[in-house]
Amino acid sequence: MFKGSIPAVITPFNGDEVDYNALNKVLNHLINNGSHGLVPCGTTGESPTLSHDEHKKIIEETIRIADKRIPVIAGTGSNNTLEALEYTNHAENSGADAALIVTPYYNKPTQSGLYQHFKTIAEKTNIPIIIYNIPGRSIVDMSIETMIELSKIKNIIGVKDATNDLFRPLLTRKKMQNDFCYLSGEDGTALAYLAQGGQGCISVTANVAPKLCAEMHSAWQDSNISKAQEINLQLSSLHNALFIESSPGPVKYAASLLGLCGENTRLPLSQIKDDTKLIVKKCLQELQLL
């Protein structure tokens, strides 16, 4: 259902407020440069720092600006099942194409708790749901067995896999129905994930190199493996630079250099170091993005 380069969209701020004019600029930049989908209000969008009203308005604005040109997968996750359900219902009613729901962070639920969390949301909505498995941020790791059981629920249709375990998609695909959607959540291993049966990547790098990221995925889909590998190699230093410090600090600085939005993040994320800025700027220059 979903494939290709799908930016995990940054949330621009102007002081303490969401900068909706800059958001419009960012979204059109991503769409006009060939992105295959959009994910607002995910980790890269600093969703834990957004108010309920901000979260909902960003989803609504993204859907409005995208205007069905490319799919919108709304980030609707929370460590509170009722809150995640509220966000998911809102995304569905607003016209999102799918919802991306993270495994609950901080609470450390068991596999049974994870199953019940996603089952509860799925059974009370009709929107396609993508499980977001990111143990590095949420501490909990959804097992393959739990994911298989959840995939039997009709509107749980895929996973954003940010485990960086490239054996996992193979192990999962052997036991799962054929139409489950596999999206990488790690830019540095996205191409390798495609080789293991993935269909795309929900990407941080695609915020600032959307054309190159989209071209890499299109080359893969066209069986032009050498071109995909060439682009992947070109992007490798940028992939690395954008995670020297906690994301989205570096990618928002990169976006500011491109004139898309301001570089500021919300606390507890602080401004990135000058040394990091130099590395990020150099990567953009090497890619002739500056």
Locate 150 and state its tokens: 């959840």
* Residues marked as catalytic: 132, 160
Q: What is the 3-state secondary structure (H, E, C) of the chain?
A: CCCEEEEECCCCEECCEECHHHHHHHHHHHHHCCCCCEECCCCCCCHHHCCHHHHHHHHHHHHHHHCCCCCEEEECCCCCHHHHHHHHHHHHHHCCCEEEEECCCCCCCCHHHHHHHHHHHHHCCCCCEEEEECHHHHCCCCCHHHHHHHHCCCCEEEEEECCCCCCHHHHHHHHCCCCCEEEECCHHHHHHHHHCCCCEEEECHHHCCHHHHHHHHHHHHCCCHHHHHHHHHHHHHHHHHCCCCCCCHHHHHHHHHCCCCCCCCCCCCCCCCHHHHHHHHHHHHHCCCC
